[in-house]
């Protein structure tokens, strides 16, 4: 095991650590069928496909919607593609997110529509029909690939003011974490800060049709994606990170975050960090607790954590209700890249 900042690696790997239907299940809503909760105190809210389809439509000067296609139409087309490939597709998460700039927020109320609705003003401002939703985050699980009720293959969709992002990976049932096992399993209609395998910005300009075509390609090769994901996850479960190495990884992640955020040109790097400062605090706490629990099973009582637990502690902080939804896919990929560089 090497332990230094120039060539930092974890080499401790141990073995043995512990006919399709086409059904679509709606994500549960936290509101009544006609109204959202107060957006001032609930920036991210559950929504159903039916509710999403009833929100107010925002069209450009050419009569086309933002991103060239309405959010619910885009998601519906993906569900239809899943059915075409004979997969059981289940919406696990569907959120409307009031994120983005104040000039063009993820959610807005159309006052002239709201005022025509015959109900008290407070309810008018929350009425679904008077609300424009520009930012949606969706996880679609393909339950045909269920692995011991622990995880299954899934598609992640982020629809926002900036464009459309999509990814394929594994959905962890217990915590709804998304595991995206490589930049080649993502696509975006805008430069979201993603990097290719050579560390270069991904600058390809894709349309929403390109995104749909890529998703169709993923669905065509889903068996191989499932097998590859299973192999990588099982390797993570077998890879043990001793406590002293774990502390070094904390330091690397913190230094990485500083270099990404700093204004000092001498040390600044233009990359997507795996975790921001707030996420790091939660992540480190989770890892420390897990390592302490594992210390009781360690003969040396030094504690350890598996790479799978380490990765899940990170992705558990990368959720729409906890961060900017546009950054979820890039940060997820950045975390795995970090682990490939310093852990495997």
The CB density around residue 87, as the number of other CB atoms within 10 Å, is: 24
The per-residue pLDDT of the chain, averaged, comes to: 86
CA distance 262 to 200: 20
Is residue 186 included in any domain, yes or no?
yes
At 200, the pLDDT band (50, 70, 90 cuts) reads low
Contacts 24+ apart (CB under 8 A), 103-108: 104/134, 104/161, 105/134, 106/133, 106/134, 106/135, 106/160, 106/161, 107/36, 107/39, 107/131, 107/132, 107/133, 107/134, 107/135, 108/132, 108/134
Domain boundary among 194, 228, 262: 228
Q: Are residues 167 and 245 in the same domain?
A: no
Phi, psi (rounded to 5 degrees) for 150: -100, -45
CA distance 194 to 61: 30
Q: Are residues 85 and 210 in the same domain?
A: yes
| pLDDT, position 18 | 44
Q: Are residues 128 and 79 in the same domain?
A: yes
CA nearest neighbour of 166 among 175, 152, 178:
178
At 29, the pLDDT band (50, 70, 90 cuts) reads very low
Q: Are residues 331 and 218 in the same domain?
A: no
pLDDT at 1 exceeding the cut of 60: no
Domain boundary among 228, 263, 279: 228
Over residues 288-307, the pLDDT tens digits come to 999 988 877 666 667 899 99
**Domain tally, the chain:** 2
Q: How many residues does the chain have?
A: 344
Over residues 202-229, the pLDDT tens digits come to 556 799 999 999 999 999 999 999 999 9
CA distance 283 to 80: 37
Beta strands in the chain (DSSP E): 44-46, 89-97, 107-109, 131-133, 136-147, 151-159, 164-172, 178-179, 186-188, 240-242, 304-306
At 157, the pLDDT band (50, 70, 90 cuts) reads very high
Domain boundary among 167, 200, 228: 228
- Of the two residues 147 and 84, the one the predictor is more confident about is 84
| pLDDT, position 181 | 79
Q: Are residues 198 and 250 in the same domain?
A: no
At 23, the pLDDT band (50, 70, 90 cuts) reads very low
Over residues 94-124, the pLDDT tens digits come to 999 999 888 889 999 999 999 999 999 989 9
| pLDDT, position 96 | 96
Q: Are residues 128 and 270 in the same domain?
A: no
The CB density around residue 111, as the number of other CB atoms within 10 Å, is: 11
Q: Are residues 193 and 259 in the same domain?
A: no
Q: Are residues 209 and 264 in the same domain?
A: no
Strand 151-159 to 89-97 pairing: unpaired
Beta strands in 183-334 (DSSP E): 186-188, 240-242, 304-306
Is residue 1 included in any domain, yes or no?
no
Is residue 33 included in any domain, yes or no?
no
At 280, the pLDDT band (50, 70, 90 cuts) reads very high
- Look up the domain containing 301 and give its range: 238-342
Is residue 244 included in any domain, yes or no?
yes
Q: Are residues 52 and 154 in the same domain?
A: yes
CA 54 to chain CA centroid, Å, is 25
Q: Are residues 224 and 264 in the same domain?
A: no
Q: Are residues 53 and 202 in the same domain?
A: yes
Please, which residues bridge with residue 178 across strands? 171
Let me know: does 131 contact 141? Beta carbons within 8 Å.
Answer: no
**Which pTM value belongs to this model?**
0.86
Is residue 8 included in any domain, yes or no?
no
Over residues 177-199, the pLDDT tens digits come to 778 877 789 999 988 665 555 55
Q: Which residue has the tokens 């679609």?
A: 140
Is residue 269 included in any domain, yes or no?
yes
Q: Are residues 210 and 304 in the same domain?
A: no
Is residue 233 included in any domain, yes or no?
no
Beta strands in 204-307 (DSSP E): 240-242, 304-306
- Classify residue 266 by its DSSP letter: T
Is residue 266 included in any domain, yes or no?
yes
């Amino acid at each position: 095991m090497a332990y230094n900042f120039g060539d930092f690696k974890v080499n401790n790997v141990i073995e043995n650590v512990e006919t399709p239907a086409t059904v679509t299940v709606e994500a549960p809503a936290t509101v009544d069928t006609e109204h959202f909760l107060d957006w001032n105190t609930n920036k991210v809210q559950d929504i159903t496909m039916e509710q999403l389809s009833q929100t107010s439509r925002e069209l450009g000067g050419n009569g086309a919607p933002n991103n060239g296609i309405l959010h619910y139409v885009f998601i519906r087309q993906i569900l239809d593609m899943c059915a075409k490939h004979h997969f059981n597709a289940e919406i696990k998460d569907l959120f409307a997110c009031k994120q983005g700039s104040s000039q063009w927020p993820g959610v807005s109320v159309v006052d002239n529509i709201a005022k025509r609705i015959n109900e008290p003003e407070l309810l008018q401002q929350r009425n679904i029909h008077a609300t424009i939703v520009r930012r949606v985050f969706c996880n679609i699980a393909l339950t045909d690939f269920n692995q011991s009720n622990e995880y299954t293959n899934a598609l992640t969709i982020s629809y926002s003011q900036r464009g459309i992002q999509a990814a394929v990976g594994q959905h962890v049932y217990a915590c709804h974490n998304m595991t995206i096992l490589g930049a080649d399993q993502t696509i975006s209609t805008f430069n979201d800060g993603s990097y290719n395998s050579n560390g270069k910005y991904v600058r390809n300009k894709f349309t929403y049709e390109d995104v749909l075509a890529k998703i169709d390609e993923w669905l065509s090769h889903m068996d191989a994606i499932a097998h590859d994901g299973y192999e990588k996850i099982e390797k993570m479960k077998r890879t043990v990170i001793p406590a002293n190495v774990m502390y070094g990884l904390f330091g690397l992640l913190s230094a990485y975050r500083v270099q990404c955020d700093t204004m000092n040109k001498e040390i600044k790097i233009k990359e997507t960090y795996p975790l921001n400062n707030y996420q790091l605090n939660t992540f480190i706490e989770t890892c420390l607790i897990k390592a302490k629990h594992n210390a009781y099973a360690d003969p040396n009582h030094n504690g350890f954590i598996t790479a799978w637990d380490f990765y899940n502690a990170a992705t558990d902080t990368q959720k729409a209700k906890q961060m900017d939804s546009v950054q979820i896919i890039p940060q997820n990929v950045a975390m795995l890249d970090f682990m490939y560089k310093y852990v495997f």
